[in-house]
Amino acid sequence: MQLKHELLNKGKMDWLEVSVQIDNESAEAVAEILSRYAHQGVAIEASPEGWNESGVIVRAYLPTNEQMWHTKQRIQEALGHLNQIRPVPPPSFRTVAEADWTELWKERLTVLHVGQRIVIQPSWKSYEPQPHEVVIQLDPGMAFGTGLHPTTQLCLLALEEMVAPGMSVLDMGAGSGILAIAAAKLGAAEVLAVDNDPVAVKTARENFQVNHVENGTALLGSLDDVMGDYDLVIVNILSHVIIDMLNNGLATRIRPRGKLVTTGIIAEQADDVIETMKQQTLMLVEQRYMEDWVSLIARRE
pLDDT in tens, 111-142: 889 999 999 988 778 899 999 999 999 865 44
Mind listing the pLDDT tens digit for each residue in 11-37? 456 788 899 998 877 887 888 788 777
Model confidence at 51, in pLDDT bands (50, 70, 90)?
very low
What pLDDT was estimated at residue 36?
77
Model pTM score: 0.72
Backbone Cα Rg of the chain:
20
Separation CA 33–CA 202 (nearest Å): 21
What pLDDT was estimated at residue 110?
76
Task: Inform me whether the pLDDT recorded for 165 exceeds 90.
Answer: yes
Domains of the chain: 2-107 (3.30.70), 143-300 (3.40.50.150)
Residue 171: burial class (beta carbons within 10 Å; 0-12, 13-18, 19+): buried
Q: Which of 148, 211, 26 is nearest to 193 (CA)?
A: 211
Cα–Cα distances (Å) from 59 to 18, 28, 90, 295, in that order, read: 6, 11, 13, 28
Task: Inform me whether the pLDDT recorded for 1 exceeds 60.
Answer: no
Q: Which amino acid is at 290?
A: M
